[in-house]
Amino acid sequence: MTDVDATQTPIDLVEHPRGAEPGKPGDRSAFSFEITRRLEPTADGLGRDGFRHGRSGVIHTPHGDIQTPAFVPVATQATMKAMLPEQLKELGAQCTLANAFHLFERPGEDILDEAGGLAKFMNWHGPTFTDSGGFQVLSLGAGFKKTLAMDVKGLKSDDVIAEGKERLAFVDEDGVTFKSPLNGDLHRFSAEISMGIQHKIGADIMFAFDELTTLMNTRRYQEESVERTYRWAQRCVAEHKRLTEARLGKPYQALFGVVQGANYEDLRRHAAQQIASLDFDGVGIGGAIEKRLLGNTCAWICDEMPELRPRHVLGIAAVDDIFAGVENGGDTFDCVAPARTARNGAIYTRDGRWNVLRTALKHDFGPLEEGCDCYTCTHYSRAYLHHLLKAREMSGCTLATIHNERFFVRLLDEIRESITGGYFDEYKKETLARFYANGSRG
């Protein structure tokens, strides 16, 4: 980023985004990606000829730069649960991701447009992402929890649905009809509707509308879904271009295509070639992925993608998955898990994940993690967090979330430093050995 004289008032990137001029369409050159260093190929690299797609770089957006690889905290409804934007910035977050479906439900995309866009609405001085709503095709249709890396054996069905759930979303060629989980109202999402909603929300990076399947769907359905997602992607690109030209005075919004195909190499490569053929600014690596194949899946896709399109891995936050994703081409990562598990007392540390609600910690007055520089660890004890969460005090959720989000932001920062410094393999080996030494989850 450009150096700023500390004695001068900093530029307000929310008020003055790059590439926005009154009466003109957003300037596409305000969004770009540059690579600063690549990982060296190895004998066991998962890309073609042992190539490793991992790299460090910079994504330039109208509201600021993102040094990559980077973790993207999830502010689903224009806020991270239990935290303020100022706290996110303080712990080192560079950007946030909100969900177009949830913001469409409330307060409505017109409110965000009237407010000046997502960043201004939530007082976030930095880049923003929006998910297209494609995830809700799965979560409302099949009823599964918010998970991407899955361990599934045996079951194959095209009518699969989570136990105890009602199917609330129905897919057809044009889009998806669904019942609102808030009030039961019927709504309709299509490629064009999703683009319209996301343009009004105004994030720097948005995703094409896609159909997210599960690993339990049959091969035949996965093939049909990949082709349908491609047709939707073509429509998204056309509508994005139309809206960019029509919405004068707005900063350019980058559009990422999403690659589906479950855990089939040929489908993933085919889908990646389809997305690469379209005029996208970047790519989202999406869909349910069998955990053991996460690195392979990223490598298959990145083999087929232009290098100078940034790659976002959707919904990943297990520590080993982060390393697999980075090594095989992921530039940015988002997941709700660090915040969601924090509210239930699960704490991430360099020595593994453990639960602060354990009875033994009632008398432990040390920090959540020795040496951690987050606000929680430098001000509060395990015993205090144990008390707050047991008492269901909201401040307990805030303090636990601050720590977990800092853990993942710092992890990706250190991974980036290890790539630029040329010691990624050593850092990966040491970090994973320490984190999983005691059989930790996560």
* CB of 287 closer than 8 Å to CB of 213: yes
User: What DSSP element (H or E) covers 424?
Assistant: helix 424-435
Catalytic residue, candidates 65, 204, 331, 334: 334
Cα–chain-centroid distance for residue 182? 24
Q: How many Cα neighbours within 13 Å face the side chain of 56?
A: 16
Answer yes or no: is 67 a known binding residue: no
CB-CB neighbours of 359 under 10 Å: 8
32 is in an annotated binding site: no
Cβ neighbours of 278 (radius 10 Å): 15
Residue 152: per-residue pLDDT:
44
**H/E run at residue 102:** helix 100-105
Catalytic residue from among 65, 131, 303, 331: 131
User: How far apart are alpha carbons 208 and 198 in whole angstroms?
Assistant: 10
| Domains of the chain from N-terminus onward | 33-335 (3.20.20.105), 344-424 (no CATH)
Q: What is the pLDDT of residue 159?
A: 58
Q: Is 334 a catalytic residue?
A: yes
Q: What is the pLDDT of residue 442?
A: 81
pLDDT values of the chain reduced to their tens digit, one per residue, 442 residues:
334 444 444 456 677 899 999 999 999 999 999 999 999 999 999 999 999 999 999 999 999 999 999 999 999 999 999 999 999 999 999 999 999 999 999 999 999 999 999 999 999 999 999 998 766 655 564 444 433 333 444 445 555 555 566 667 788 899 888 878 888 888 889 999 999 999 999 999 999 999 888 787 889 989 999 999 999 999 999 999 999 999 999 999 999 999 999 999 999 999 999 999 999 999 999 887 889 999 999 999 999 999 999 999 999 989 999 999 999 999 999 999 999 999 999 999 999 999 999 999 999 999 999 999 999 999 999 999 999 999 999 999 999 999 999 999 999 999 999 999 999 999 999 999 999 998 888 8
To the query of whether residue 159 is one of the catalytic residues in this protein, the response is no
Consult the annotation and say whether 135 binds a ligand: yes
Neighbours of 137 (CB within 10 A): 24
Pairing mode, strands 55-61 and 64-68: antiparallel
pLDDT at 9: 45
pLDDT of residue 292: 94
Q: Which of 275, 333, 319, 330 is nearest to 297 (CA)?
A: 330
pLDDT of residue 178: 82
279 known ligand binder:
no
139 closest CA partner among 169, 163, 159: 169
User: Using alpha carbons only, what angle is made at residue 40 by residues 36 and 46, rounded to the nearest 5 degrees?
Assistant: 115
Give pLDDT, residue 192: 97
403 assigned binding-site residue: yes
Number of Cβ within a 10 Å radius of residue 110: 12
What is the distance of C-alpha 109 from the center of its chain? Answer: 20
pLDDT at residue number 248:
97
Kind plus residue range of the DSSP H or E element containing 236 = helix 219-246
DSSP string, 183-224: T--EEEEEHHHHHHHHHHHT-SEEE-------TTS-HHHHHH
Buried b (16+ CB within 10 A) or exposed e, 13-32: bbeebbbbeeeebbeeebbe
